[in-house]
Amino acid sequence: MGTVRVRFAPSPTGHLHVGGARTALFNWLLCRKLGGQFILRIEDTDVSRNIAGVEEKLLDSLGWLGIQWDEGPDIGGDCGPYRQSERRDRYEDAANTLLSSGNAYYAFDTTEELDLLRRKAAAAKTTFRYPRPEHPPTLAEVDRARAEGRPVVVRFKAPDKAVTIRDEILGEISFPSEQLDDFVIVKSSGWPTYHLAVVVDDADMEISHVLRAQEHLMNTPRHVLLQNALSYPVPKFAHVPLVLNINGSKMSKRDRHKVVRKAVRSLMEQKRWTRQDIASILSRDDDAFERWFEKKADIELDKTQLLKLADAAHVTIPEIDVHDFRVSGYLPEALVNFIALIGWSPGDDREKMTLEEMTEAFSLDRISKTAGRFDREKLLAMNTDWSQGLPPDRLLLGFRDFTRASGSTLGSLDDETALHLLEACRGFRTFMDVEEKAGVLFVADDQVQYDPGAVRKVLEKGEGRGYEILQELLSELDLDEWSADSLQEFLGDYCKKIGLKLKDVAQPVRVAVAGRAVSPAIFDTLVILGKDKTMNRIRRCLARKDAS
């Protein structure tokens, strides 16, 4: 087929799913390995499901992962347009060709009539196949049906023969004719179905290889039949295995709803939440929550409402989309490295690889036939490794991207402070860990919240010995030089003088300035805070004790 040309064709109905990202990555690696072109196409013919602004988010997520396209809706190319909504005339031409050649025909069954046929097939315990009329409707009959308000569609006349395809991953697969009925290629709205649109697009865009998820495997015989009927070249097919959760369930956006629904149900069973509490959290009081709660429809709660419930219930929503991982503080190098290894191997023991190294090692014969598991603990470990190995300037760029994506208040830090903070938190798993560990150092002093457990264990224990240490330190901590070295020297001398270990002094100070027993190393914590804020927070802590 000459030059290798592959495509990734998402629909603008939501953020880029991590499984879709892996499909895009495999396509990109193949074309880069073979010196081909990677085409980005937007499949937006299902107008009712399209969401404004999502196309830009899809492109942004791909770019964040380092997956760049050679042709696409934003940069053009010789085979455009690259949005299906701008290609309707091409689908109409193809449908007319199939109608003229006798390979397709009009049909105008109502939903009720089709449902009745399906029920009859189910009662007879047979697979439903659309009953092809002996004589296809005439144009006059089609016009009359339209005038009566009946839904007029175009169906492809599937030949009564088996279809055999050669899959580059799964091998030779045959589909018996009994599995192939006369499927719809043009909807009553006039828009093409997925089957017709994708076949026309792949031909027009000269796609040589179609790499897509195994869930599309049953669509492939239909596409081959259409390609043959339209005299289009048949590309090479490769169906990649699915991405599953670690427990073997399908990795779905519904996982978010499952986690939050389980937490909400538990809180209600414990009588800790009522319907009124939930109405207050969601700022709505209707039956939408009830439908969602009874698992009748996930869509009754949008992502913003779901996040509100999750935050109130103190549960973490699992990341599903690429954007989720970006907001959680993962590095693109780590995420793209990790998803490449779900169902593919470079052929040796390597795990940590750059895009360039993956490209060099990539081949279709190293893709597994079976589904891969998304091991979140392994991803965390890989992200930790990448974070520790990146140079400071690249780490800073990643941190800046995280603060923008997540809306973190740490985005206002200057470069010097941000680099100091990242170095002080070395060993973090994600940038979110940095936020959680050190974010309190950058809030106003009067916003510090004290963890009751830390107060009891560190400050009140031993008849308030922690408070005593803070009071004694306050009069001696007014150092002329405020640096890690001077603080280390001072606290070392102080510990020797009173006969305590550093941790026995550092922990009361940490709780006083951070409100909890966790922060960066104590010297880094105090340097980042600065002298004035350190002294002020210690005074506030002591005043809090006196007021209690």
Residues annotated as catalytic (active site), given as ranges: 253
Contact 65, 29 (CB under 8 A): no
Please report which helix (H) or strand (E) contains residue 237, including its range. strand 236-240
- Count of CB atoms situated within 10 Å of the CB of 166: 11
Instruction: Report the C-alpha gap between 520 and 424 in whole angstroms.
Output: 6
Any idea what DSSP says for residue 413? S
Nearest one of 151, 157, 114, 153 to 135, comparing CA atoms: 157
Quick check: bond before 81 cis, omega within 30? Answer: yes
**273, 279, 285, 353: which is closest to 313 by C-alpha?**
273
Residues 425/429/432/434 CA torsion (nearest 10 deg): 0
Alpha-carbon span 88 to 110, nearest angstrom:
24
Report the C-alpha gap between 146 and 106 in whole angstroms.
11
Could you write out the DSSP letters of every residue in 45-82? --GGG--TTHHHHHHHHHHHHT---SBBTTTB-TT---
User: What is the phi-psi region of residue 343: left when phi exceeds 0, alpha when psi lies from -120 to 50, beta otherwise?
Assistant: left
Find the radius of gyration of the CA atoms of the chain. 30
Give the tokens for residue 336: 């793209």
In sequence order, the β-bridge partners of residue 104 are 156
* C-alpha pair distances (Å), 52 with each of 11, 13, 18, 57, 306: 12, 9, 21, 10, 20
Question: Which tokens sit at 150?
Answer: 């009946």
CA–CA separation, 60 and 43 (whole Å):
17
Asked if residues 194 and 216 have their Cβ atoms less than 8 Å apart, the reply is: no
Asked if 209 and 5 count as a contact pair (C-beta separation under 8 A), the reply is: yes
Whole-number Å distance between alpha carbons of 454 and 461:
10
Contact 517, 458 (CB under 8 A): yes
- Exposure of 377 by Cβ count < 10 A (0-12 exposed, 13-18 middle, 19+ buried)? exposed
Burial class (CB in 10 A: 0-12, 13-18, 19+), 417: middle
Which residue is it, tokens 């990643």? 398
